[in-house]
Structure 1
Amino acid sequence: MKRLIQLLFIGALSVALAIGFMAPAPAEDHTENGLISMSSSYSVAETGDRLEALLAERGLTQFIRVDHASGAESVGLDLRPTEVIVFGNPQAGTPLMQCNQEAAIDLPQKALIWEDEAGQVWIGYNDPNYLLERHGLVECAEVIANIETALSNLISTAASPSE
């Protein structure tokens, strides 16, 4: 039953946010489902806090932070720590929607932060190149490249120890 609930939860997040498991490091892994993930040196809550601070520092809009584990607990179910932070910047997202308005289904950006069965924390986000392919955003290749660089820097900074 517990496994069924976990599978239902994963399905509800969407294919782009499906969980991928990688080797420890903060190394990126491009998975077939369009998710780029890396291990975090912090707890789920602290990784989320670090990401929120970076979003504010860089002038990005944070729309919501969803604590799925608390939601599960509120209905008497167990779920390892799992959060989604939804954020964006109209200067980056609008050109994608101008190329293909259907790209709006994948915007604003999302970061998934979760703890796996072994206690390792991960942070993942949609691969911008996956979105390029999914929505045929060839005319927006330069915008995609800029988003890819910005997301990679943002997520790796949130997940890695400060120097």
Structure 2
Amino acid sequence: MALLLRVVLASFVTLSLSVAANADLSNQMKVDQSFEAVKEAVQNAGLTEIIQIDHARLAAAENVEMPPSRVQLFSDPGLNAEIMKHEIRAGLDLPFRALSFDEAGALSLLYTSSDFLAKRHGITDAPLLAKMDDHLVAVFEQVPDLSAQKVESTRVDKDFAVLELRSQYGVAETVARLKETITAQSDTIWFGEIDFQSEAKAFGVELVPAQLLLFGGPAPGGVAMAEFPAIGLDAFCQKLLVYEGDDGKARVLFNDIAAFADLHYQRAIEPHAMLNKRLTATFKGAIE
């Protein structure tokens, strides 16, 4: 009888693990399908693909488990130039991005709307904001079954969750130093950079030197996102906006991870604060 009980229990455990594995696979497939549908919609809308990042698979390669999550960045460089001419610091929230992810077993699709951009950066140009939303509608109306949701912005105000450092160098030197320091981190992947000033020139718009640096840490990012997958919209790919201040020296802006966790989930955990401290110390070491 005892042997039979052990066999039954073992079979139950095996079945439970199999069901859980199949559920994980199903959730991953849903996220992958959502991601691909949005990617096709972006292409159909005539927008420029920038980068796509598979948070969960990158984390899994570092033996860190987290829910399925994939983010894609896409762009209208001409609109970026118009927005940044109005407010250079808005480059921290450009280009467009959409996050397909598993939230407690359910598929979610999240994006940042013009309302968030307007509140965070004090942009009041209504036609400009409407143009941004027109692009987003052109993408997400192609995938109505995915029920894309805007980032909640009622608690967002000017400079919400913006961490800022001042460099003692100009933009070019600051970017070079930051890139060298970031790529020296053994647990970090460099995804690339966007030169907003150069892009703007192609549209006849003059901007001060401004670049967006894109990188991520799959292992620490996976830990931070495990219970907070929605923060993958604004972190891991971590974004650094480097632009020229009035004194000719660079300003460096990046996102407060703990604040975004609190925005999405009304709470944050120690790994979020630790990552904020690590990133701040790393960037300071490069530019001060």
CA contact 2:241–2:252 (8 Å) conserved in 1:
yes
Aligned-residue offset at 1:44:
0.6
Q: Residue in 1 aligned with 2:229?
A: 101
Residue 7 in structure 1 maps to residue 86 in structure 2: yes
Aligned equivalent of 2:270: 142
Residue 110 of structure 1 corresponds to which residue in structure 2? Answer: 239
| TM-score of the superposed pair, with normalisation by structure 1 | 0.77
The match for 1:45 is: 172
User: CA offset at residue 80 of structure 1?
Assistant: 0.2
Which structure 2 residues correspond to residues 72-111 of structure 1 after superposition, within 5 A? 72-107=200-235, 108-111=237-240
CA offsets per residue over residues 37-89 of structure 1, 9 Å max, x none? Answer: 11101111111111111112112111011110000112221000001101111
TM score, norm. by length of structure 2: 0.46
| Cα distance change on mapping 1:66 and 1:17 into 2, 3 Å | farther
Secondary structure of the equivalent of 1:124? strand
Please tell me the root mean square deviation across aligned C-alpha atoms, in Å: 2.7
The change in CA–CA distance for 1:74 and 1:35 in structure 2 (over 3 A counts) is: same
Post-superposition shift, 1:144? Answer: 0.7
**Unpaired runs of at least 5, structure 1:** 20-30
SS at match of 1:99: coil
Is the alpha carbon distance of 1:17 and 1:93 closer, same or farther for their aligned partners in structure 2, counting shifts above 3 Å? farther
Output the CA distance in 1 between the equivalents of 2:256 and 2:229. Answer: 18
Cα distance in 2 for partners of 1:81, 1:143 equals 33
Change in 2 beyond 3 A, CA 1:17/1:109: farther
Deviation at 1:149, TM superposition (A): 1.5
- 8 A contact 2:257–2:276 mirrored in 1: yes
For 2:190 and 2:205, how far apart are their aligned partners in 1? Answer: 28
Aligned AA (2:238)? Q
Which residue pairs with 2:193 in the alignment?
65
Q: Is the Cα contact below 8 Å between 1:44 and 1:114 reproduced in 2?
A: yes
**Deviation at 1:35?**
0.8
Tell me how far 1:8 sits from its aligned partner.
6.5
Please state how far the C-alpha of 1:17 moved relative to its aligned partner: 8.1
What SS class does the counterpart of residue 92 from structure 1 fall into?
Answer: helix
Q: What letter corresponds to residue 88 of structure 1 in structure 2?
A: G
**1:119 pairs with one of 238, 243, 248:** 248
In structure 2, C-alpha distance between the alignment counterparts of 1:17 and 1:42, rounded to whole Å: 26
In structure 1, the residue matched to 2:283 is: 155
State the shift of 1:111 in Å: 0.8
Identity %: 23
Q: Which has the higher contact order (CA 8 A, sep 6+)?
A: 1
